[in-house]
Amino acid sequence: MSEFDQMYREVILDHYKNPRGHGVMEGADAEAEGQNPLCGDEVAIYVAFGDDGETIDEVKFSGRGCAISQAATSMLTEMVQGKTATDVARLDKQELLDEIAIELSPVRLKCALLGLTTLKVALHKAKGTPLPDGLAGFDELELT
């Protein structure tokens, strides 16, 4: 398998070309925008909670970016369904990285984590759940 086939695995390209949960959600219970100015990736995340107001019923995302950021965010929308806001706030980034399962340079790591970090910001704004270290006080995410 060539080097780029390893990086652009079929599952990554599938999520990139057919992203799950792609679109804008009107009247979302939680939302936030994130961008990675270095590469121009932008993502907006929307969350709808179930009747208990705590369990995630649906996550949608819109935006544009590289295959890694878009595929990772698409995978994330599937991973967090049925979890509570507190679960997601505690979700270790390694869990998402294991799902993506490709070797990422520090620059591409930011692409891969843009969706997860933006989701945590959205939940923080709506539910007051803790943010990852170093992001205290962020209402909109701008990674640099």
Partner 1 sequence: MIPLTEEGELDLSALAGLAARGNVKVVATNQVSNSLGTINPVEKLAAWAHEQGAIFVCDAAQSAPHVPVDVQALGADFVAISAHKMCGPSGVGALWGRSELLLAMEPFLTGGHMINSVRVEKTTWGELPHKFEAGTAPMAEAVGFGAAIDYLTSVGFDAIEAHEHELAAYALGRLSEVPGITLYGPPAERRAGIVSFNIDGVHPHDVAQILDMQGVAIRAGHHCCQPLMQKLGVAATNRASFYLYTVQEEIDQLVDGLHTVHKVFA
Question: Which listed residue (21, 34, 65, 115) binds partner 1 by CB under 8 A?
Answer: 65
Question: Does 62 interact with partner 1 (rule: CB under 8 A)?
Answer: no
**Angstrom distance (rounded) from CA 105 to CA 78:** 24
**Angstrom distance (rounded) from CA 15 to CA 68:** 9
Using CB under 8 A as the binding rule, the residues of this chain from 21 to 60 that contact partner 1 are 37-42
Smallest distance from partner 1 to CB 15, Å: 13
Cβ neighbors of 71 (< 8 A, separation 6 or more) are: 11, 12, 13, 15, 16, 19, 100
Question: Does 11 interact with partner 1 (rule: CB under 8 A)?
Answer: no
Q: Which residues form the interface with partner 1 (CB under 8 A)?
A: 2-5, 7-8, 13, 37-42, 64-68, 108, 111
